[in-house]
Amino acid sequence: GAVVSQHPSWVICKSGTSVKIECRSLDFQATTMFWYRQFPKQSLMLMATSNEGSKATYEQGVEKDKFLINHASLTLSTLTVTSAHPEDSSFYICSARDPGLQYQETQYFGPGTRLLVL
C-alpha cells in the first residue's frame, strides 16, 4: 500500500517554457501532498504543502507564482514550473500521507522527476 507515482520521470525543456509535473496516490486518497526539491548530493528541501480543495502552503523563499501547485482531487496534485530557467533544473519529488494508516505521520514518496532546463 501507500504507492505514489509521478509523471513524467524526466523532462527537458527550453528556457522560458512551463513544465507540469503530476503526482498521484495510487492506492489511497491523500488530502495532503508535499513537493520537495533535491539538488545533486544534497538532501530534500520541502517546497510546499498541497491541500486538496484549497491553496498550497509554500515554504519561505519559494516563489508561489513560479511554482504553481494544484490539488484538484484526492489522488492528484500537480506542480507547474512557470517560465523555467536553467537554475530551476533539479530533481522534484512529491510525497503523500495515507490518512487511512494507523500512523498518519509517515510520508510516502514518488519516484521523482528530473527537470533539465536548457
Partner 1 sequence: EDQVTQSPEALRLQEGESSSLNCSYTVSGLRGLFWYRQDPGKGPEFLFTLYSAGEEKEKERLKATLTKKESFLHITAPKPEDSATYLCAVQSISGGYNKLIFGAGTRLAVHP
Q: Which is nearer to partner 1, 22 or 91 (CB)?
A: 91
Minimum CB separation of residue 15 from partner 1 in Å reads 23
Contact of 100 with 73, CB cutoff 8 Å: no
Cell numbers placing 31: 488530502
Nearest distance from C-beta of residue 116 to partner 1, angstroms: 13
Which CB atom, from 49 or from 80, has the smaller least distance to partner 1?
Answer: 49
Q: What is the C-alpha separation between 7 and 11, in angstroms, rounded?
A: 9
Locus of grid cell 533535491: 38
The CB-of-16 to partner 1 minimum distance in angstroms stands at 26
Query: CA–CA separation, 98 vs 92, rounded Å?
Result: 20
Q: Closer to partner 1 at the Cβ: 43 or 54? A: 43
Least Cα distance to 23 among 59, 74, 61, 85 occurs for 74
Q: Which residues bind partner 1 (CB under 8 A)?
A: 2, 4, 6, 32, 34, 42-46, 49, 57, 91, 93, 95, 97, 103-112, 114
Residue 39 Cβ, how far from partner 1 at the closest point, in Å? 11
Whichever of 47 and 81 has its CB closer to partner 1, that residue is 47
**Residue 65: partners with Cβ closer than 8 Å, 6 or more residues away:** 82
